[in-house]
Amino acid sequence: MKKNTIEWETITFITPTKTKIKSYLLLFMIASSVFISLVGQSSHSKNKVSAPNPAKEYPQDNLQTIDMKNLPGNQIKNMGTEELREFLEEQGFRRLKNKSLVELRRIWLGFMYEDFFYTMHKKTNLPISVIYAFFIIEATNAGIESKLMEKALNPGGIKYRGTGKKINAMDDCYKNGKKVPCAFQAFSSYNAMVQGWADVLNLPRYKNCKRFVFSKYNRGMSAKEIVDATCKCFYKSGYHTSNLWKVRSNLSTEYWTVKASFPEMEY
């Protein structure tokens, strides 16, 4: 009996050390579980965003260079639907199934002009999606750059402002009840085009329209409501005569779909 008692006492003597080790292991496992749980919750909260923030639609770092004497639309304007789809897929574009010819063209232009849209966003504080919508309305026809854009590098339907070059084109000008050509501003370079359009979008009468991109004014608003309010305000402030501001707003939301088809960039 004595021997067994000694052996038990010896075992009892080292048990606290093992208990400490087990306690440390248990604490480590609990801490690890808490960390993994927090990371998972963070990831889940990011995935819960239902729509992009139109103030943060930053482009991928593709930095496409636009040849102002040979605009991007010229490369694809003679392609049919299936030919253009194959061309885009070869370039790495995605989600092109069942897209119409015009939709495919807009995906191409959206990608090629992405850096331009971002530059305009930085100069005007307008959401990139709104810049895209205005560009599509004012500077394209059936998904390809309009004659006004091609000949005058005029991306926003900017009427002649009294200085610099001008070009005449049919639009919404009337004289004595008859439709007559309008005088539009003409630009000769990329930088002049950017600055010319920015000068118009930054006119004081449009300042109030840009407030919706700031959290102070858009609290509780969805992304769609933000672009709705922005486009309606520009119409009310005289940017264009057409009252179809919802068309511009819908084109703004189209940008989010267009962007989803862009190639994934490798870094």
Confidence of residue 267 (pLDDT cuts 50, 70, 90): very low
Alpha carbon distance, N-terminus to C-terminus of the chain:
74
- pLDDT digits 0-9 by tens, 30-48: 555 544 444 444 444 444 3
How does the average pLDDT of the chain come out, rounded? 81
Q: What is the pTM for the complete model shown?
A: 0.76
Asked if the model's pLDDT at residue 2 lies above 90, the reply is no
Give burial (CB, 10 Å; 0-12/13-18/19+) of 254: middle
Q: Supply the pLDDT for residue 191.
A: 95
- pLDDT digits 0-9 by tens, 184-228: 999 999 999 999 999 999 999 999 999 988 888 888 999 899 999
Show the tokens assigned to 166: 């001008």
Q: Supply the pLDDT for residue 22.
A: 46
- pLDDT digits 0-9 by tens, 229-250: 999 999 999 997 778 899 999 9
* Residue 239 DSSP label: S
